[in-house]
Amino acid sequence: MYPSDSIEPVSEFLYYISNNMRRLILRSLAQQQELSFSKLMRSCGLSTRYDTTGNFNYHLSELEKVGALRKTETGYMLTRTGRRMYEIVRLLELESRFLHKRQEKEGDKMSVKDGIVVRRAYKEDNPEVAKLVASDLYEGASLQYEVPKEYFEFRQRSTDFTLGITGCSLVFLAEEKGEAVGICWWTLIEKENVKGGFDKEAFLEHLYVKQGHDCEKISEQLMRTAVPYLLKDERVTILNVWYNKDEPLGEEFYAKFNIKETENLKLLMHVAEWARPSWQTRKTTS
């Protein structure tokens, strides 16, 4: 592919695998013979909900340009060069996991306050993350609907923040006496902007604290731990927050984290009116 006496191809190769989305594309196609555009997007953890098709097309064209993949009549598949690139990426990821394991053993407590420990969630924490997410969705829906218990179990089974979106989700756990009592889950998306560059946006998917615990206090500790990490380590430029009018944490709570001294940072707050489920409306007692 390149002259053997040139060192430039090394830096060019590192450029193509330096982007997380391109690595996800390589991994997804390496696990399948061929994938359609929509299935490839989903396997990389992307959704049309965030209008990311333009950015995704850009990364596909970059990999096509270097000869790592080719377009077929029904989708995309890796070339021989692409499979060799993936093998190198896989070796690097294995080494990276080893370093993460060592970091976990050394302890990765992000903040400790009044007996509450807030830290990053890792793959081994997924069962606790799934329970908290299921509780968040079940309790929220139960405010207005007669929700079947199976809904909680379904949500718990179907939640895995490590599936297909490695590097695209950032999850923090709040623990009290070793028990997971709260969660702060952000989805990270890169989007093209009108200036020709990219904005890195973070979407708050879940901010939840178990019943019987101080919701506002623990939620604030989760946010105050997560937001600086998003800004400094992930270099996020836009924070997106949705909340319903009937939720305990509203505009006044989220306004605490609007960092005005950062010129390019915006905290967008929306009152979400999601499509309503088909469950029977909960009867109110007079």
> For residue 75, what are the contacts with CB-CB under 8 A and spacing of at least 6?
34, 35, 36, 37, 39, 40
Least confident of 144-148, 172-176, 205-209: 144-148
Instruction: Quickly list DSSP for 126-147.
Output: HHHHHHHHHHHHHHHHHTTB--
Question: Is pLDDT larger for residue 82 or for residue 260?
Answer: 82
> What's the helix, strand, coil split of the chain in %, to 5?
45, 25, 35
How confident is the prediction for the chain on average, in pLDDT? 78
Q: What is the pLDDT of residue 134?
A: 92
Structural domains of the chain in order of their starting residue, each with its CATH number: 8-103 (1.10.10.10), 109-271 (3.40.630.30)
Task: Show the tokens assigned to 223.
Answer: 């946010």
Query: To 10 degrees, the CA torsion angle through 27, 32, 36, 38?
Result: -50
- Per-residue confidence (pLDDT) for residue 79, from 0 to 100: 92
Mind listing the pLDDT tens digit for each residue in 203-256? 888 999 999 999 999 999 999 999 888 888 888 877 888 766 667 787 778 877
pLDDT of residue 210: 94
Looking at per-residue pLDDT, the higher value among 15 and 266 belongs to 15
pTM: 0.58
Q: Render pLDDT for 267-283 as a digit per residue (tens, 0 to 9).
A: 555 444 444 456 666 66
**Mind listing the pLDDT tens digit for each residue in 83-104?**
988 888 888 776 665 555 545 5
